[in-house]
Amino acid sequence: MQILLFLVKVLIFPGALFTACVGLFLAGIDRKVIAHMQKRIGPPIRQPMYDFFKLMGKETIVPARANKLVFLGAPIAGFISLAIVMLFIPIFGFTAFSGTADLIVILYFLTIGGVALIVGGSSSGSPYAGIGISREMVTMMSYELPFVLVLLSVARKVGGSTLAFSMNQIADYQAANGSLLFSWSMIPAAIALLLIIPAEVGMQPFDVAEAETEICEGPLIEYSGAALGMFKLNTAMKMCIMTGLFTSLFLGGIRTGTVVCDAIIFVAVCAVVTLVCITTIHAVTARLKIEHLFKFYWTVVSGLALASLILVWMGL
């Protein structure tokens, strides 16, 4: 029974399957809403799912210059790590796993997702991919600093004078004291995290790495078929994870008592967060240059996060 429950947690809820479905759903909402914003009808909400299954049905070409093992292994590695990340994000009252340092685990497993894209792109041997991975890595470096600051300020806020890297503790704290978003010292950190999400997911204006018009989708250029589908799925899963992370870090505290209701509310809140931070920003901005992106994250966003950290540190 224990093992069965474990399997269900890892594979179905809230592991691989749930993340993938919610991610594809969020991606669909994003595309639909952006179409409406532009006065278009737009694709159906299940469009990302069609894209994924179509790619599964196509040939996967391994270029002659690519290292086959790495080229095909990278998307799977990314998928595994992202499926594991979701296990650590509490769905309001429900947590699959919780340790003492979930925040660091989440940080590193998300990094693996990015590294899988970079290594896979790099192994394809294309110079476009070379430029793409360079930009992807710089993007990663730029959002990592504010991300770390946000996580530390949450940990300090929740833990007081002890170490609180545990998501469970954060969820409990919010259930007891109300959502962190409504404590004013955390607002800058929340804004910073909202600005980090598009870069983590690779959406405009922070999608220099996969700029399809200038460098032919960068690291993904040589990918086709199932491998490309896995990467598209990974992006969708990242969307689910990042919005879910925002939800449980800043909007936690809602507890209906039943897992199903919690999950439904969770998905709804995630969708709202997606609309706020991904869709709206995507619709109103154009792509940034890589050096501006770096500067933006290390000054504006890091400044916001740092302000929050200092406020929290002073006990506010």
Partner 1 sequence: MMQHFPVLAVMLLFLAAFLVEIFGSKNKVIRNGLTLLATTNALVMTLALIKPVMMNGEVISYWMGNWAPVSGYAIGIGYEVDALSLFFGILVTATFWLSSIYSIGYMNKDHHLGHYYTLFLMLSGSVLGLVFTGDIFNMFVMIEIMTFASVALTAFRNDSEGALEAAFKYLVIGSIGSSSVLAGVAMLYSQCHTLNMAQLSSILSGGLTPTSVVAFGLIVAGFGVKSYIVPFHTPAADAYAAAPTSVSMVFSGMVNKAGVYGMIRMVYIVFRAMDHSSVQMLLAVFGAVTMFVGVTMALTQHEFKRLLAFHSISQIGYVITAVSLGSALGLTGGLFHAMNHTLFKGLLFLCAGAVLYRTGTTNLDKLGGLSKKMPQTTICFLIGAGAISGLPPFNGFASKWMIYQGIFTKALTSGNFLYVIITVTALIVSVMTLASFIKVTQAVFFGQLREEHNDVKEVPAVMLIPMYIMAALCVICGTIYPLVSKYLLFPAANASLNVGDYIDKMMGAGYAEAAGVPTMLVEPVTFSFWNPVLWLILFGIVFFAAVIVILLGTNERGKILTAGEKPEAKYATFFSGEEEMFSQVGGSDLFWGFKKNWKGYYKVFTELHSGIVTDYTSYTVIATAIIVMCLFIFMR
Partner 2 sequence: MFKKLIDKSASKSPWLYHINSGSCNGCDIELVACLTPRYDAERFGFKLAGSPRHADIVVISGPVTSQSRDRLVRTIAQVPEPKCVVTIGSCPQSGNVFKGSYSVEAPVENFVHVDVAVAGCTPKPEAIMEGLYTAALILKKKREAMHK
Site residues for partner 2, window 170-229 (CB under 8 A)?
A: 211-213, 215-217, 220-225, 228
**Residue 2 engages partner 2 in binding (rule: CB under 8 A):** no
Footprint (CB under 8 A) of partner 1, residues 16-45: 16
Question: Which residue stretch of 11-19, 232-240, 244-252, 258-266 sits at the interface with partner 1 (rule: CB under 8 A)?
Answer: 11-19
Position 46 contacts partner 1 (CB under 8 A): no
Stretch that binds partner 1, among 20-28, 127-135, 184-192, 253-261 (CB under 8 A): 127-135
Contact (CB, 8 A) for 193 and 249:
yes
Residue number with CB closer to partner 2 (42 or 303):
42
Q: Is 40 in the site for partner 2 (CB under 8 A)?
A: yes
In the complex, least distance from residue 183 CB atom to partner 1, rounded to whole angstroms: 19
Q: How far apart are CA 316 and CA 299, in angstroms?
A: 23
Residue among 76, 84, 75 nearest 11 (CA): 84
C-alpha to C-alpha distance for 60 and 309, rounded to whole angstroms: 47
Bridge partners (DSSP) of residue 91 are 94
Q: How far is Cα 152 from Cα 117, in angstroms, rounded to an integer?
A: 27
- Residue 294 in the binding site for partner 1 (CB under 8 A): yes
Token representation of residue 112: 């693996």
Which residues is 94 bridged to in the sheet?
91
CA distance 233 to 211: 18
| 283 touches partner 2 (CB under 8 A) | no
Q: How far apart are CA 169 and CA 121, in angstroms?
A: 38
Question: Mask: binding to partner 1, 137-156, rule CB under 8 A, as x and -?
Answer: xx-xxx-xx--xx--x--xx
Binding footprint of partner 2 on the chain (CB under 8 A): 31, 35, 38-44, 47, 49-54, 56-61, 211-213, 215-217, 220-225, 228
